Structure 1
Amino acid sequence: MKHQHPLSIGSNTLLLLADKAIYWPQQQALLLADAHFGKAAAYRALGQPVPQGTTSHNLQRLNQLLSTYPTQKIIFLGDFLHAPKSHAPATLQALRLWRAQHAAIACVLVRGNHDHSAGDPPADLNIATVDEPYLLGDFALQHLPISHPTHHVLAGHIHPVFRLQGKARQRLTLPCFHHQPGITLLPAFGAFTGGYAVEHHADSQVYVTDGDCVWPITAAS
């Protein structure tokens, strides 16, 4: 299985990871967007019968990435917590245990629209919070996919997915990375999220992932 796919942007080579994140080797940085920790807890608080354990599952996936890629910094591209009710005790306890395991890794949250309503992570998680754009090297790290005048944008927000068309009425919708001039979109890292279907254009590249493999899509796919 091909768990990663290189993407060259200027003098940088980013690794698009099958588990819906980006690894930036030059910075030893792991980038992920739209984790939406505590989303299920927020829905349960509203009386919706949604599954438990999504935060723990997402953190296990993140742990696996950290065990694979040497990481000095994790940058969350917005929507770390889903809503005010995501500050549920079980959710925060899981996050605190995870953070204690990785205390030496710097964490930065570029605030997204859900962060403005949910509030910043608790101070004891030791996650620095900044407004967009967060400029690092050649990139503008953002939540919203809005172009930047001098830097290539890495962003999330829309939870991009791509619809693969098979024979007859067969269709498969998968999370994807969407690379365009000036902007590269990351799929939502959170497992309990929806998606917005993007289209393949002549000046764009689409890389889909099924969680185990990531591969480029040609215009004819």
Structure 2
Amino acid sequence: MSGHHAVSFHGATLWLLPEKAIYWPEQRALLIADAHFGKAAAYRRLGQPVPHGTTASNLAVLDRLLCSHDCQQLIFLGDFLHAPGSQGASTLGALQQWRERHSQLAVTLIRGNHDRRAGDPPAALAFQMVTEPLLLGPFALQHEPDAHPHLPVLAGHVHPVYRLHGKGRQRLRLPCFKLGGAVSLLPAFGAFTGGHGVYPGRDDAIFVIGDGQVWPVGNQATGAGGGSSGMVGSPGSDGCG
């Protein structure tokens, strides 16, 4: 795979992936926030005309990531399932088939606000269920974007997007990673999730995702950002190899 952007952040090398995930080579870990599996199905149960196939599409992307990167563990930073209506036979069947394809993979779910409402995934998926924060390396991994008393946080929940301005009234909203300060944000992995606009603070850097690429804008693009973390970034020329 190509298009990732590697950063050194708080002493850890993180690959920011255009599939809206982070690969952490030292931990052999894939980090994903806000998959919201079964969201479209939950909306259809309410009579809303939303598309079919979003769960299958998201799982296909996840399959490609796991097959292209050396992963021992997959960590969901909350909101794995969207709602109680996501626990239908079709969604759970697709998830079970996916799990069987990756039966040796250690999977951890940090419960988010939607997980508490939707309920834990079936035991057959063999997830380790934890309450935030999950401490790993230099980071506190969380769903909620709240500061940790001692560690920098990698979080989800916000579904960050960044607005690019073109000539005239041209505007483009793109999913993004927001790194820096006490709390850094991952984009929502799910394809049917929406987004919330974010802007870089003095110690933040924004990396937007588009056309299969990840690239810096704002502070990081001009050489600032990262604060005391000493963040250094470089575009990836190839995938996991």
Which TM-score band (shorter chain)? over 0.9
Once residues 211 and 28 of structure 1 are traced to their aligned partners in structure 2, the CA distance between those partners, rounded to angstroms, is 26
Give the drift of 1:180.
Answer: 2.0
Query: 2:69 maps to what in 1?
Result: 69
Q: In the alignment, residue 119 of structure 1 is paired with which amino acid? A: G
Alignment of 1:150-161 (within 5 A): 150-161=150-161
Alignment of 1:123-134 (within 5 A): 123-134=123-134
Alignment of 1:128-207 (within 5 A): 128-207=128-207
Q: Percent identity?
A: 58
Q: In the alignment, residue 188 of structure 1 is paired with which amino acid? A: A
Matched residue count: 221
Q: TM-score, normalised by structure 2?
A: 0.89
Once residues 5 and 95 of structure 2 are traced to their aligned partners in structure 1, the CA distance between those partners, rounded to angstroms, is 29
Which 10-residue stretch deviates more, 135-144 or 94-103?
135-144
Q: In the alignment, residue 55 of structure 1 is paired with which amino acid? A: T
Which 10-residue stretch deviates more, 194-203 or 164-173?
194-203
Once residues 44 and 181 of structure 2 are traced to their aligned partners in structure 1, the CA distance between those partners, rounded to angstroms, is 40
Give the drift of 1:39.
Answer: 0.1
The 8 Å contact of residues 106 and 127 in structure 1, kept in 2 or not, is answered as: yes
Q: TM-score, normalised by structure 1?
A: 0.97
The 8 Å contact of residues 14 and 22 in structure 1, kept in 2 or not, is answered as: yes
Once residues 97 and 88 of structure 2 are traced to their aligned partners in structure 1, the CA distance between those partners, rounded to angstroms, is 14
Coordinate RMSD, CA, aligned = 1.4
Once residues 172 and 96 of structure 2 are traced to their aligned partners in structure 1, the CA distance between those partners, rounded to angstroms, is 36
Alignment deviations for residues 94-153 of structure 1 (CA, whole Å, 9 cap, x no partner)? 000000000000000000000000000000000111000011121111000111112111
Alignment deviations for residues 142-195 of structure 1 (CA, whole Å, 9 cap, x no partner)? 000111112111100010000000000001100000012122100000000110
Between 1 and 2, higher relative CO (CA 8 Å, sep ≥ 6) is seen in 2
The answer to whether residue 68 in structure 2 is matched with residue 81 in structure 1 is: no
Query: 1:97 maps to what in 2?
Result: 97
Once residues 137 and 182 of structure 1 are traced to their aligned partners in structure 2, the CA distance between those partners, rounded to angstroms, is 15
Which 10-residue stretch deviates more, 115-124 or 148-157?
148-157
Once residues 80 and 141 of structure 1 are traced to their aligned partners in structure 2, the CA distance between those partners, rounded to angstroms, is 15
Mind listing any 5+ residue stretches in structure 1 that lack a counterpart?
none
The 8 Å contact of residues 20 and 211 in structure 1, kept in 2 or not, is answered as: no
Alignment deviations for residues 62-90 of structure 1 (CA, whole Å, 9 cap, x no partner)? 01111111100000000000000000100
Mind listing any 5+ residue stretches in structure 2 that lack a counterpart?
223-241
Once residues 8 and 100 of structure 1 are traced to their aligned partners in structure 2, the CA distance between those partners, rounded to angstroms, is 34
